[in-house]
């Protein structure tokens, strides 16, 4: 009897201890789980962002440098500084941290960007090409509404042994201090009197390439159109006079013929035609530019060249509704809308 009571008490004690052991077990499991999560978070925080190498962006345009840093998940802090050359404008001069430094993603990279040069004296432009100088000054004051330096045109031209377009004299003289808006006056070489040169080759070139070559060589020219014949590509120069490599005077006018589409190949939305404008004759060439304003808003240069005057003819292939703008010495003198109903294709 006594033994039976004892067994009953032991069994009751076991049943009472089971919930307690379960609670202790669950508490231990929860503690371990929380510890594992905490450790994972801790080590993740300690490791931080991924590491990356700082690229070399010195000498690159700002937009290219920003894209390269973005690929590395690095962020720029930009500082502006004047430099020694106008050609540096908009490029990276210095960077910090240095090239090849290992940093964490998200790091700030200090970039020193050139603002161009501080212009306080007139440079020496003598013996330089007038086209290069014009481009340099335009670039130097691209973002300035009233540039300190500007070219006074038309230039004076003289026969000289220096190559055509070489600056012979300038006013103000080199080293003159700039205290306000200043006009640069140049005397430019038009080559030796009666200088002879080989006629450049144009046959087989696209009309765009031919116009670019004329702008580069600054030669006198005149265009005509004719329907494309068998074997001829539309939009290419198919004839020139004088022929390529013929010995001619430097001021000889080169006549070029471009193959145009036939009437059956016309496009209602595009016009292939010849711009023509009668200009007064001048004793020396004047800076002449023909631009096209496309209906989409794009502004396109067709040709920019010194031109003495006479009939100014330029072929074009443009959308209907484009606006042709002719300027001399940066002053607009004529506008013309491209319309599809005009007589576009001349006869032979």
In this predicted model, what pLDDT tens digit does every residue of 161-186 receive, in sequence order?
888 889 999 999 998 988 788 899 99
**C-beta of residue 234 within 8 angstroms of C-beta of residue 228:** yes
Residues 235 and 327 in one domain: yes
Give me the domain span that covers residue 63. Answer: 51-114
| pLDDT the model gives residue 4 | 54
CATH at residue 103? 3.30.10.20
Residues 158 and 99 in one domain: no
| pLDDT the model gives residue 2 | 52
Count of residues in the chain: 348
Residues 206 and 333 in one domain: yes
C-alpha distances out from residue 219 to 20, 41, 316, Å: 104, 74, 19
Whole-structure pTM value: 0.52
| pLDDT the model gives residue 90 | 85
Q: What is the pLDDT of residues 105-141, one digit of tens each?
A: 888 999 999 877 667 788 899 999 988 888 888 777 6
The answer to whether residue 5 is domain-embedded is no
| pLDDT the model gives residue 347 | 38
| pLDDT the model gives residue 43 | 59
Residues 207 and 153 in one domain: no
| pLDDT the model gives residue 348 | 34
Q: Distance between CA atoms of 157 and 137, rounded to whole angstroms? A: 20
The answer to whether residue 307 is domain-embedded is yes
**C-beta of residue 160 within 8 angstroms of C-beta of residue 166:** yes
The answer to whether residue 55 is domain-embedded is yes
| pLDDT the model gives residue 153 | 80
Q: Find the largest Cα–Cα distance for the chain.
A: 146
| pLDDT the model gives residue 136 | 82
C-alpha distances out from residue 95 to 68, 88, 156, 162, 236, Å: 13, 15, 46, 43, 48
Phi, psi dihedrals of residue 270, rounded to the nearest 5°? -125, 145
The answer to whether residue 25 is domain-embedded is yes
| pLDDT the model gives residue 342 | 45
Residues 152 and 183 in one domain: yes
| pLDDT the model gives residue 191 | 79
CA atoms within 13 A on the CB side of 88: 18
C-alpha distances out from residue 269 to 149, 226, 280, 333, Å: 43, 20, 33, 27
| pLDDT the model gives residue 264 | 62
Residues 265 and 149 in one domain: no
The answer to whether residue 22 is domain-embedded is yes
Q: Distance between CA atoms of 94 and 78, rounded to whole angstroms? A: 10
Residues 289 and 201 in one domain: yes
Residues 32 and 69 in one domain: no
The answer to whether residue 121 is domain-embedded is no
**C-beta of residue 50 within 8 angstroms of C-beta of residue 105:** yes
The answer to whether residue 119 is domain-embedded is no
Final residue belonging to a domain, choices 147, 168, 189? 189
Q: Which residues pair with 318 in a beta bridge?
A: 271
Q: Which residue's entry shows tokens 């840093």?
A: 69
Q: What is the pLDDT of residues 51-90, one digit of tens each?
A: 889 999 998 999 899 999 988 889 899 998 877 666 777 8
Residues 208 and 294 in one domain: yes
Residues 43 and 59 in one domain: no
Residue stretches of the chain with pLDDT short of 50: 46, 342-348
Residues 43 and 56 in one domain: no
Q: How many domains does the chain have?
A: 4
| pLDDT the model gives residue 207 | 95
């Amino acid at each position: 009897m006594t033994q039976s009571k004892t067994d009953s008490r032991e069994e009751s004690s076991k049943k009472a201890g089971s919930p307690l052991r379960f609670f202790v077990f669950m508490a231990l499991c929860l503690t371990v789980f929380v510890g594992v999560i905490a450790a994972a978070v801790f080590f993740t925080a300690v490791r931080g962002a991924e590491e990356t190498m700082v690229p070399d962006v010195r000498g690159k345009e700002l937009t290219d440098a920003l894209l390269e840093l973005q690929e590395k998940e690095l962020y720029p802090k930009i500082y502006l500084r004047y430099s020694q050359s106008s050609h540096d404008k908009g490029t990276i001069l210095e960077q910090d941290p240095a090239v090849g430094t290992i940093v964490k993603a998200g790091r700030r990279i200090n970039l020193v960007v050139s603002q161009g040069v501080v212009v306080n004296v007139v440079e020496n432009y003598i013996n330089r090409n007038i086209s290069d100088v014009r481009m340099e000054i335009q670039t130097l004051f691209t973002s300035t509404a009233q540039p300190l330096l500007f070219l006074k045109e038309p230039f004076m031209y003289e026969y000289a042994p220096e190559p055509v377009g070489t600056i012979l004299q300038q006013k103000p003289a080199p080293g003159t201090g700039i205290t306000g808006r200043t006009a640069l006056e140049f005397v430019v070489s038009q080559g030796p009197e009666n200088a002879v040169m080989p006629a450049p080759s144009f046959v087989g070139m696209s009309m765009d390439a031919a116009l670019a070559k004329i702008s580069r060589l600054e030669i006198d020219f005149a265009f005509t159109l004719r329907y494309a014949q068998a074997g001829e590509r539309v939009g290419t120069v198919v004839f020139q006079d004088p022929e390529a490599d013929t010995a001619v005077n430097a001021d000889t006018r080169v006549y070029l013929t471009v193959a145009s589409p036939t009437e059956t190949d016309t496009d209602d939305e595009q016009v292939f035609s010849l711009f023509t404008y009668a200009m007064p004759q001048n004793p020396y060439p004047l800076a002449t530019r023909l631009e096209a304003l496309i209906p989409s808003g794009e502004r396109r240069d067709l040709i920019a060249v010194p031109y003495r005057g006479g009939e100014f003819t330029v072929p074009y292939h443009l959308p209907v509704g484009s606006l042709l703008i002719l300027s001399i010495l940066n002053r607009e003198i004529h506008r013309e809308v491209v319309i599809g109903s005009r007589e576009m294709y001349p006869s032979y």
